[in-house]
Structure 1
């Protein structure tokens, strides 16, 4: 009897352990849980901790509680000004209502595919209404907010809250990029030519003005020099005239000495003149008692 009782007790304990293990489940900090009974949701658990369910009857579906991310494939978008853009983007979201999420998608893979489709659609619609300059300028932030609001509006019915939408890259296709680059280079070269032409024109103006000022300065200096030279010559002539009036013989002697000095400047000076020439007048005169004869 004791052996049979122990066997039955052991079986009961094992069965109780199995039942207890099947009735308990833990929800982690990063999870939410949906208790299902025969495929139908019974309750939603969003707080972490130890919970109970009916063993063998109820199952638990775990749903991620963290902020998740979905990225789109590179999409070609045509802007309002008929520019083609290759756009990469991503969205960050969290599952706000696990029951709606589960009923709408069932698993995260399907949810990501659906969100990617919504995001691509909103990107094409919103970017297609904008010019290229608005997309690549500071207006991009406002565009991303508009896209996020619209994506969130569509995703809210399935229990998903879209937190953020970002455009990672918005590039022109390679063939367009080459054309744009060539056009930009041509524009810059044209601007450089205009700047060089303007600089050359300014340089010519400055040079012409400097030449004009130099000519004026030289002319004024020459005028002042001529005036001073004329005044000096007049003063010299006045002094000579005054000296000539006082002593004509001394003046004649002085002028002859200047002529001798000018004519006999070099050591090898040779002159062929008659000894009785008036030029040698003072050479032929001899002093008598220290006085010059008449």
Structure 2
């Protein structure tokens, strides 16, 4: 009588170099979990656990190579690894059924760049980051220039509108003053002339101002007439 394991078994494969869709070499270290589901088929096809693991090694490696070959480096190392391993597990399980085996799970323990490629990849990544940074700086400077130009344009418009409004207000004030002066003149011309003369004195004669004029000058006519 021959007994077979019912427990979940593990197989840790040796690391292998695989190539991604973007032609990057990766050293992939993977393991799988599997179990015997059909003892008769298992015995007739592979006989022993070692025989099964040898077949699984070929099956899983083939599916890893195919799926990683259709994936980018970013997908393998970070982005879409979970979906990638689900496909590898499903594809491997379909082929393993012929040996009375179920592949439960395939996982990547490590996916590293070969030592000879690490520096080249790092340099490419740094160059790409620098290119993107330069692009973002240029876009930022262009946006800053656009904002400054727009602000200056709006400032000039506001200043022009303010100057125009001030001119209108001055015109209105001068017109109102002229109207008031005209009304005052029409009401009492002598008093109007008197007030205008006083205003002229106020503007002309400041503190400590000395004027040398003819006593008969018309400018002092009001003062002379008040004597």
Same fold (TM over 0.5): yes
Written as runs of structure 1 = structure 2, the 5 A alignment for 1:16-95 is 34=1, 44=2, 64-79=5-20, 81-95=22-36
Written as runs of structure 1 = structure 2, the 5 A alignment for 1:251-270 is 251-266=192-207, 268-270=208-210
Aligned equivalent of 2:86, options 136, 141, 165: 141
- For residue 253 of structure 1, give the secondary structure of its aligned residue in structure 2: helix
Aligned equivalent of 1:97, options 30, 39, 52: 39
Quickly say closer, same or farther: Cα 1:153–1:100, change in 2 above 3 A: closer
Written as runs of structure 1 = structure 2, the 5 A alignment for 1:103-122 is 110-111=50-51, 114-115=54-55, 117-119=57-59, 121-122=61-62
Written as runs of structure 1 = structure 2, the 5 A alignment for 1:107-256 is 110-111=50-51, 114-115=54-55, 117-119=57-59, 121-123=61-63, 125-127=65-67, 129-132=69-72, 136=76, 137=80, 138-150=83-95, 152-153=96-97, 156=99, 161-256=102-197
Which residue of structure 1 aligns with residue 220 of structure 2? 280
Q: What is the CA-CA distance between 1:124 and the residue it aligns to?
A: 5.9
- Alpha-carbon distance in structure 2 between the residues aligned to 1:232 and 1:94: 101
Higher helix share: 2
Stretches of 4+ aligned residues off by more than 4 angstroms: 98-106, 110-113
State TM-score, norm by structure 1.
Answer: 0.60
With a CA cutoff of 8 Å and minimum separation of 6, indicate the structure with the bigger relative contact order.
2
**Structure 2: unaligned runs, 5 residues or longer:** none
Conserved 8 A contact 1:80-1:131: yes
- For residue 203 of structure 2, give the secondary structure of its aligned residue in structure 1: helix
- For residue 85 of structure 1, give the secondary structure of its aligned residue in structure 2: strand
Q: What is the CA-CA distance between 1:87 and the residue it aligns to?
A: 0.7
Q: What is the CA-CA distance between 1:102 and the residue it aligns to?
A: 10
Higher radius of gyration, 1 or 2: 1
Q: CA RMSD in A?
A: 3.5
Conserved 8 A contact 2:8-2:34: yes
Quickly say closer, same or farther: Cα 1:245–1:79, change in 2 above 3 A: closer
- Alpha-carbon distance in structure 1 between the residues aligned to 2:45 and 2:131: 63
**Structure 1: unaligned runs, 5 residues or longer:** 1-33, 35-43, 47-62, 288-294
Quickly say closer, same or farther: Cα 1:241–1:79, change in 2 above 3 A: closer
- For residue 139 of structure 1, give the secondary structure of its aligned residue in structure 2: helix
Which residue of structure 2 aligns with residue 23 of structure 1? none
Quickly say closer, same or farther: Cα 1:97–1:217, change in 2 above 3 A: same
Which residue of structure 2 aligns with residue 9 of structure 1? none
Conserved 8 A contact 1:77-1:127: no
The superposition leaves residues 189-243 of structure 1 with CA deviations (integer Å, 9 ceiling, x where unpaired) of 3333333333333333333233223322322232232223223223322333343
Conserved 8 A contact 2:18-2:68: yes
